[in-house]
Amino acid sequence: METTVVDVPEKGRFEVRQGERVVGLASYHVENGQMTLPHTEVDPSLGGQGIGKALVAGVLTAARERGLTVLPYCSFVRHYIQQHPETTDLVAPADRPHFGLATAAH
């Protein structure tokens, strides 16, 4: 079954779907060129299938396409950025120390 990430701006979130079923979400808020990411969740029964990673990858790709920086308040998003240093540039240099990402920068 295909997994897709869809922006649902009227709900202030991205949804990750398997077919038509919503199996996870990432809430967000955009202001002044920054996308704040406070929370992600995935259906616990689907853990370990990479759905959360697909969700965060989709969110970060959308932020990059829109020319936004991100504020990864969600620990899962922060961990993803730490594991994928090519995404560190999405966090403004001045914000990286706050999120423990200063050492991840190239």
Q: Any idea where the domains of the chain sit in the sequence?
A: 3-104
Output 104 or 35, whichever has higher pLDDT: 35
Confidence (pTM): 0.92
For residue 105, name the pLDDT band (cuts at 50, 70, 90).
very low
* Alpha-carbon separation of residue 32 from 29, 38, 72 (angstroms): 10, 16, 15
Does residue 16 carry a pLDDT above 50?
Answer: yes
Predicted pLDDT at 103: 59
**CB count, 10 Å around CB of 39?**
14
State which fold the 3-104 domain adopts: Aminopeptidase (3.40.630)
Q: How far is CA 48 from CA 9, 27, 42, 54, 103, in A?
A: 27, 21, 10, 12, 27
Does residue 106 register a pLDDT over 90? no
